Amino acid sequence: MKKVKRRVLNSVFAFLLLATPVLGTGIEVYATATDTTATSDSAATDTDSAIEEENSTTQSTGNGASGEPSTSEEESQSTTDTGSDTPSSYEGVIEEQTSGSAATEKNPSSATSEESELQGITSFSDQTEAIVVEEVQGYVTQYVKLKTIAINDTENVPTSTLFYQLTEGTLTENGSNQALAGQTFKAVKKYQEPTTKQEYLLLQNDQGKAGIVEIGAVSIASGTLKTEQTYVTIQKNNYPVWQSVFLDTQLTTTANYNQKTYLVKESFYKNSNKATYYALYDNKQTFIGWVNAAGTKAAANAGGVWQKENKYATITSSNYTLWQNFNWTAQKGTSAAINGQTVKVTGKYRHFNGSTYYSLYDKNNKWLGYINATGVKLSSNAQGAYQNYGKYVTLTKKNYTIWGNFSWTSKKNNTTTLAGKTYLAKGKYSHANGAVYLSLYDKSGKWIGYLNADAATVANNQGGTWQSEKLTVQMKNSNYTLWQDLNFSKKKASSSNYLNQTIQVTGKYQHYNGSTYYSLYKNNQWLGYINATGVKTAHTIYSQSSISRYVIVNNSSGNFFDKADPNSTKLGAKSAYKGYMAQATKLAKTSDGNYLYLVSPAGKIGWIKESQTYSVNSNFWMYTTGGKYPSLDVKNLNIQVSISKQRVYIKSGDKVIYTMLCSTGAVGTPTPLGSFRIQAEKGLAFSSAAYYRSFKDHGVYLFHTIPTSIAWSTNTFSAIEGRKLGTRASHGCIRLAVPDAKWFYYNMPYNTPVKIVN
């Protein structure tokens, strides 16, 4: 290395560096002149010799004449950037380094174009030796780092600690570079002294501010630097992020940037570990750091790389574009068409612009396009995200399940049971299957479940929706309000205005509060809404016809009525006939449904709703015909048989205590008239019937069941003969229903008087 003999340094230099990451750093070098004691040439020579010895060792593995330094420092760092090393602490932004006070005295010589690259650098005030150099053509830009060189005294300064400035092909000293020692620069040009072949490098940062140094003043990053303009997405979260290609200062790790997309402006192939490093920038052109390329994946464009995402997205806005590509040159549509719907997300892109974009598919796996993630709510479940709804709905369709979950394993209820009722739908889910499900609550805040919205109709208010209802009613009393609206904000009238009047109900509302409200009209004039509990049915009988049917009473609540009208006079309690057979002789069709008029062999029972009975017409002879059997422990027990009425009367003296249906002798074989007594002859069966008791001629004329279909049977009876019960059909005996004959057989005392009359 050529030594520049420094005569008397009457200045010392202080340098200020505003240090930031390499490519984003603005570096300015300043020199300040102050008076000092002159140093001897011999001292300077000793110092330079020491530096030469150090440099010769450093360059022994470099590029020979080029003076490229050893890569041992780089190699010591390379082992930490394999993608699996433990991230070091983030050192942050390097503090400003200052030395001395600022000075602004400039070299008075005229500046060349190259001099303009040396912004902020001042020269010594006294004479220095000039070095003639020539630019080395074809030099490739490299990253370098200024070395720290020991200076033993102020009189012997190694030339490698100097900055130079170039003026008309001549280098002159321009201060010390040691204030910037350890900092990384780009070496953008190389110069060479023609005689000694000593090499110099022009250092710059991205603002073009630095200076020229001897090649021995720097360590050179050994590798290949390329300019890039590509995009990558971080794929690993445990790679170090370095401040420079020297890998000596770790900023952070890729965990802070994982799956995000960045612009690569430069790549550096590092010889020591044979790895490529990318210089990454975000969408604001802020330098992120250097990252091993193995921790990234190349993207085709600024959209980044596809990342698998198996989720569902509910569209929350109608103002988003669905994109065909990430060049923004083609649209698939807008979110307005699918706003509120839930669609499938199969993948995502973390775009260079900082946004995430989802790739959307509908329920038929049709691709919908890319949408900015801010336009959706993401969910792991097919029902999508919960959406506030806050509307009242009336259940208007039957046979829908009300679900307890969206895995369809819990059934809470069904709309058949709850049809017509009104609930608050606090929220909704737009399921990926295309259906909307409402989350329903009752007036007490109790959750009802999830219901397909197709089964409900949205109401204007808490009243619910109008439902058809055709009734004729009357006011119960004068204490009810007729409302103008179902928010109950305005009264229309009082029930006292219409007492004892017949009013028409044309429709009803099943209110959210749990009550039903009728819409009332009189002579086509609307009267208002009234709680259904404030009216009673004004019963209407549409038609009445004669029938003959045997039925069993299966309801014990309330009474029989004198008319086919629940508002008519009450007769006997239904509980007395619960489970017993009666004959229905009339059918009435009314506004309250069908009614039957029942009679027993003893006479009138009363009207009952048809729905409170069931028919036994096909085998009525197998049932008790007169209701509950009486006790026979009475005074003057006797029996009377009426041929004309086909009845058997059990009497206490002259009082009838029980009446049974019977069949007496046919016209050709009549039952004898007269007075008789129950005789001793009896038996469980004979060739024609069962459960017989004799009343004349000791076994000739009998009380017994309808004929059996098998001789001597006690449980197989002829349906043909059974249907004749109540008409003249026997050979002279008195036929009874099977349970009546059995009761008569076991309970009627011997010698009881029997009288048979027309």
CB 426 within 8 A of CB 390: yes
Structure-token match 């329903």, residue found: 440
Query: 178 forms bridges with which residues in the sheet?
Result: none
- In the three-class reduction of DSSP (H, G, I as helix; E, B as strand; rest coil), residue 367 is classed as strand
Query: 735 forms bridges with which residues in the sheet?
Result: 663, 704
Cα–Cα distance, 721 to 705 (Å, whole number): 10
- Between CA 29 and CA 41, with CA 35 as vertex, the angle to 5 degrees is 90
CB 495 within 8 A of CB 475: yes
CB 245 within 8 A of CB 272: no
Exposed (0-12), middle (13-18) or buried (19+): which is 301, by Cβ within 10 Å? Answer: middle
CB 530 within 8 A of CB 493: no
In angstroms, how far is CA 608 from the centroid of its own chain?
53
- In the three-class reduction of DSSP (H, G, I as helix; E, B as strand; rest coil), residue 214 is classed as strand
- In the three-class reduction of DSSP (H, G, I as helix; E, B as strand; rest coil), residue 288 is classed as strand
Exposed (0-12), middle (13-18) or buried (19+): which is 108, by Cβ within 10 Å? Answer: exposed
Residue of 219, 209, 194 whose CA lies nearest to 163:
209
SS (H, E, C) 542-579: EEEEEEEEEEEECCCCCEEECCCCCCCCEEEEHHHHEC
Buried b / exposed e across 532-565, counting CB within 10 Å, b at 16+?
Answer: bebbebbbeeeeeeeeebbbbbeeeeebbbebbb
Structure-token match 């229309």, residue found: 492
Other beta carbons within 10 angstroms of residue 439's beta carbon come to 19
Give the residue numbers annotated as catalytic, written as ranges: 704, 733
Other beta carbons within 10 angstroms of residue 106's beta carbon come to 13
φ/ψ region of 45 (left if φ > 0, alpha if ψ in -120 to 50, else beta) reads alpha
Cα–Cα distance, 561 to 178 (Å, whole number): 119
- Between CA 249 and CA 257, with CA 253 as vertex, the angle to 5 degrees is 130
Length of the chain: 758
Query: For the chain, how far is it from start to end, CA to CA, in angstroms?
Result: 158
DSSP 463: T
Cα–Cα distance, 114 to 132 (Å, whole number): 14
Structure-token match 């119960």, residue found: 476
Strand 491-494 and strand 525-531: the pairing is unpaired
Cα–Cα distance, 23 to 735 (Å, whole number): 121
The type of residue at 264 is: V
